[in-house]
Chain A
Amino acid sequence: MVLLKCPVCGGDVQVDDNALPGEVIEHECGALLEVYMKDGKLALRVAEQIGEDWGE
């Protein structure tokens, strides 16, 4: 597991070593977070809101 910080509340977030970019995690503070790669390492950012062009 990788220990990351929630970009909203600053709390700890445990992320699986094998997590892939695009995974969405709901943090205990209520924030929806998205895994992405920053400088070759797993990182977290606030998940994108559902867009007007999202769907099937």
Chain B
Amino acid sequence: MRLGVAYDVLRWEERDLFSEARKLGYDVRPLYIKDYADLVGNSIGENLDAVIQRGVSHSRALISTTLLESQGLRVFNDSLTLVRCENKAITLSLLVKSGVNIPRTAIAFSKEKALEIARKLGYPVVIKPIEGSWGRMVAKAVDDDSLYSLMEYQDYTTSQFRTAYVIQEFVRKPDRDIRIFVIGDEAPVGIYRVNKANWKTNTALGAKAEPLKIDPELRELAMKVKDVIGGFFLGIDVFEDPDRGYVVNEVNGVPEYKNTVRVNNFNVSGFLLKKLAEVIKK
């Protein structure tokens, strides 16, 4: 298989993909998207069977995927999946429409309405950017005053969605959340992300990864999310709510998995590459 890997920052995951692809005998081509410049529609000149999108910048990942698709290349994940993952309003709307439990989430376009709905949800609430990652700018508001201030901070960011306020219930989860991966038509591996010191359980913020025991309900949920969001390789973040059970908080379209490999001794890159070969053959 001739495989392209589109990336902008060379992290552990991209190096591992190159290494595992070579072990499998694939002809792997690094595609450094950051310095890409060409006329729209021009071919990159590579006769590739597939491209794995690994851009860390959401905008570069989405746009480069679109450009590669316009050349007839199959990109994993595809551009529509990336859009569905990157914008939390889209992700959560699609999930809730399909009957997947999510944290009670409101979106308001004015501070006044955001305060009204936060009171209905009940403090504390969580405010987060509509697009964002690694727990960045995710904050807990304990009352009207703190929520108002956090919204003001959001107003002065450069986000195109800065006047859309995502207000979410504070889920009383244990000191952990779940990251489960969908690869192709399976959900083979995942981690608990444990943080006893911080309610935010992103590993980027210091949460510790532990092997996940995947029960049938969780596996079924992961595959349902995949059916809704699409794509080939997803990292699904799930909370364990004491009353409702599993609730899906977000879906990542270019997931990181270094810690998952380390604690599970599971070869994510190898599994992904073999699954990709199956998809390409179909």
Tell which of B35, B58, B59, B158 touches A36, judged by Cβ atoms closer than 8 Å.
B35
In the complex, whether B136 has a CB less than 8 A from a CB of chain A is yes
A contacts with B: majority SS: loop
Cβ < 8 Å to B, chain A residues 1-47 = 20-24, 36-37
CA distance A15 to B99 in the complex (A): 52
**Contact-residue bracket for chain B:** 20 to 34
Tell which of B10, B30, B32, B134 touches A55, judged by Cβ atoms closer than 8 Å.
B134
Inter-subunit contact A55/B56 (CB<8 Å): yes
0/1 string, B26-68, CB within 8 A of A gives 1: 0000101011000000000000000000001111000000000
Inter-subunit contact B32/A21 (CB<8 Å): yes
Inter-subunit contact B57/A51 (CB<8 Å): yes
Distance between B144 CB and nearest chain A CB, rounded to angstroms: 27
CA distance A48 to B158 in the complex (A): 17
Inter-subunit contact A21/B58 (CB<8 Å): no
Given A22-B9, A54-B57, A37 contacting B35 (CB threshold 8 A): yes
A-B pairs with beta carbons under 8 Å apart, 10 shown: A21-B10, A22-B9, A52-B132, A52-B157, A53-B59, A53-B131, A54-B133, A55-B56, A56-B133, A56-B256
Interface set of A (CB-CB < 8 Å, partner B): 20-24, 36-37, 48, 51-56
